[in-house]
Chain A
Amino acid sequence: MYGKNLMLIMISMWVLLFIVLPVSAMLLFSFWSIDNFQIVHSFSIQNYSKIFQDPIYLSLLWKTIKLALIVAVLSALISYPLALFVNHRRGTLKTILFLGVLAPLWVGYLVRIYSWRSILGESGFINSLLVLTGILKQPSSSLLFNSSAVVITMLCIAIPFTFIPIYSAIEKIPGNLLQAAADLGAGGSRAFWTVVFPLSMPGVVTGFMFAFITSFGDYMTPSLVGGTSGIMYGNMIQTQFGNSYNWPLGAALSMIMLLFILLVIAAARKIGNVQAIFEE
């Protein structure tokens, strides 16, 4: 009982220090304004009205949402068969495959982005291969510095985050349910669509959400491999806290992003609400 209380205190402290306090500070800032590099501590909604009046903010928000959705969908589509495949292997091979999928997580964030740049670049791996095999006469510049490069680079980090929840959801499905399905007349693919897939949905939703959120907030990838149009909502926020020194506007932009992410999480919980399924 004592241990339980202590745990509760620790969790509350954590939530307070790292979630409640910073978010409250951010919320407070978002209603302030800036004048001649001094923050004006008086309540106003001017930051929010600016965001909703100037089309640049909303159009970037929409662009970012679309990109994050594409990344999340692709990530789920790639991770799912991967998770099924790894799940069906046994022993050492399984461990190796599992660690292999997670390998991108071992590499630093910037290193990963630069690696993709050198893979996709004009003198990069893919171009060299295409020229060497004679598929291309000269290196193509269309692999890098566009939205596909951003999507590919973001997928590299999103896939492990999508893979893990899907994998564990599939792994958690009791073997006797599959036996029951086969026993009652479902062949391999019928059993998959009627049992495995619906029961792995919570994992898919969680993984989708992870991929969506990580790519939603990523501003380094677009600015390093996205080319001249590599600006996302996150870059907007970053410039407000940086060069433009408009923390209140940056805070307001962040609050809108936070609100949006919370909406996504709420929606995802609704779709993937199969939590209590495996009570023992």
Chain B
Amino acid sequence: MKLKHVLIVLMSVVILVGLSGCGGSASSTNAGAGTASSAAPANGGEDLAKFKGETINVLSWEGYQEDEWVKPFEQKYGVTVKVTYAGSVDEMFAKAASGSVKYDLIFMDGGSVNRYYKMNLIQPIDLAKLTNTNQLIANMKSLNDKHVVKDGKTYAVPFAWGSLPMMVNTDKIKEPIDSWNALWDPKYSGKIVTLDDAANQTAMTAMLLGFKDPYNLTDEQLDQVKSKLLEQKPLVRTYYAGFEDGKNLMASDEGWIGFSMGPTMITDLQKEGKNVVEVIPKEGALVWIDNAVIGKDAKDPELVHVYIDYLISSEVQAQLIKKTSYGGVNADSANKLTDEEKKVSHMDDPNYFNNLVYVAFPESFEKRVKLWNEVKAAQ
């Protein structure tokens, strides 16, 4: 009798949960279908009122949607920019893929675009609707396009970038450093810190080993990368887990030399009074380029185009560089920066890109994760 009661309760909950689940997905499908038909024609002449009351759902990294440039846009068009931040690549992917919110605009590194494209989560961008693309830094754009143009269609527009250089504490290490080999130098045993990240560790090691395309490795090359990393392991103080973690290690002198997560990590340490410098080794360094992409089910793609165009304008890009010290994508924005700001963000050196290797979509995330786990698990 009692058991029967419990069963009835369990059954009814299953049914309730099931029904509500169905209801939810049904209504969102309708919403998606509705927007698809409401695409408006491109219009060069500005009609400020036509987007009034609309909302853009943005899935973004922190620092990319600051009030300084979002508020003026909202006021100009009478729209709302609703921002959701993700803390990691995985979190962003999970949020976008779950489909619980249909994001109109998503930010991601160019290497990830392929994944979203394969999963059919994004739609092509109509470059004819953008007015600022001709101001994008040329060599950066052509590098980026190799990864975001699929079947002749452009799926992403660059927004910001950063390199993953080496960081060296010059108080502790006096000799000049110019190669990733320094992270394998027994002289610095116990003072080397490096990133706990399968894809970037593999790519950096591949560059050191001289492999042409560090994101497209054969199994044999992956094996060589693994032995190289195993060789490094006993010299490493620790693999750090994130931006703050890495900074903390350098600041407390646990690490003297390391694989950084970007120039901001180094400039932050300098602000704390650490004599830590950025080194782009002769083998090259990785560079990530974050792109703006339009979600598959964007409500009003035209408005998203207008917003993207605004975000890559020289005004917004200059504000972005000043605020975050990431690299900007608009060549003209350099005119709005001080010399110091240009230097920090490497906007003064168009050749900076020549030594950088694009953080791309690897041959297999799974193989790299496995490789990295095996390195860490090795005794």
Contact = CB atoms under 8 A, between A and B. Distances in A.
A144 interface: yes
Nearest to B365: A244
Interface string B228-258: 0000011011110100010010001110000
B363 interface: no
Interface stretch (A11-19, A164-172, A179-187): A11-19
Contacts of B196: 223
A8 B6 contact: yes
B40 interface: no
A229 B118 contact: no
A127 to B, nearest CB: 11
B373 A36 contact: no
A242 B90 contact: yes
A59 B368 CA distance: 19
A279 B13 CA distance: 36
Contacts of A223: 196, 239, 241
A141 B13 CA distance: 56
A9 B11 CA distance: 11
Given A12-B6, A38-B119, A243-B89, A145 B237 contact: yes
Contacts of A5: 5
Nearest to A139: B253
A118 B13 CA distance: 49
Contacts, number: 109
A123 B253 contact: yes
A155 B14 CA distance: 40
Nearest to A238: B90
B53 to A, nearest CB: 36
Contacts of A37: 115, 118-119
B198 A239 contact: yes
A246 interface: yes
Contact of A243 (B9, B234, B369): B369
A245 interface: yes
Interface string A136-147: 000001001100
A189 to B, nearest CB: 43
Contacts of B90: 241-243, 245
Interface string B255-297: 0000000000000000000000000000000000000000000
Contacts of B366: 244-246
B5 A8 contact: yes
A236 interface: yes
Interface string A219-248: 010011011111100011001111111100
A74 interface: no
Contact of B237 (A9, A13, A123, A141): A141
Given A228-B236, A229-B379, A244-B366, A236 B373 contact: yes
Interface in B1-55: 5-6, 9-10, 13-14, 17
Q: Which of A56, A223, A240, A244 has the most CB of B within 10 A?
A: A244
B75 interface: no
A5 B9 CA distance: 10
B115 A229 contact: no
Contacts of B373: 56, 231, 235-236, 239
Contact of B238 (A9, A114, A145): A145
Nearest to B88: A242
Interface string B301-328: 0000000000000000000000000000
A60 interface: yes
Contacts of B89: 242-243
A160 interface: no
Interface string A1-44: 00001001100110011000100000000000000111000000
Given A122-B252, A228-B376, A239 B118 contact: no
Interface in A252-278: none
B252 A12 contact: no
A121 interface: yes
B128 interface: no
Contacts of A243: 89-90, 197-199, 365, 368-369
Nearest to A225: B238
B126 interface: no
B374 interface: yes
A219 to B, nearest CB: 10
Contacts of A240: 369
Nearest to B239: A228
14 contacts: A8-B9, A37-B118, A37-B119, A56-B370, A118-B252, A123-B252, A227-B237, A227-B238, A227-B239, A228-B234, A228-B237, A243-B197, A243-B199, A245-B366
Interface of B: 5-6, 9-10, 13-14, 17, 88-90, 93, 115, 118-119, 190, 196-199, 233-234, 236-239, 241, 245, 248, 252-254, 365-366, 368-370, 372-374, 376-379
Given A230-B238, A244-B370, 16 more contacts: A8-B5, A12-B9, A12-B13, A37-B118, A37-B119, A59-B377, A121-B252, A144-B254, A227-B239, A228-B234, A228-B239, A229-B377, A229-B379, A230-B239, A236-B373, A243-B198
Closest 9 CB pairs of A and B: A244-B369, A242-B90, A231-B376, A145-B238, A227-B238, A244-B366, A12-B9, A228-B236, A239-B369
Interface of A: 5, 8-9, 12-13, 16-17, 21, 36-38, 56, 59-60, 63, 114, 117-118, 121-124, 141, 144-145, 220, 223-224, 226-231, 235-236, 239-246
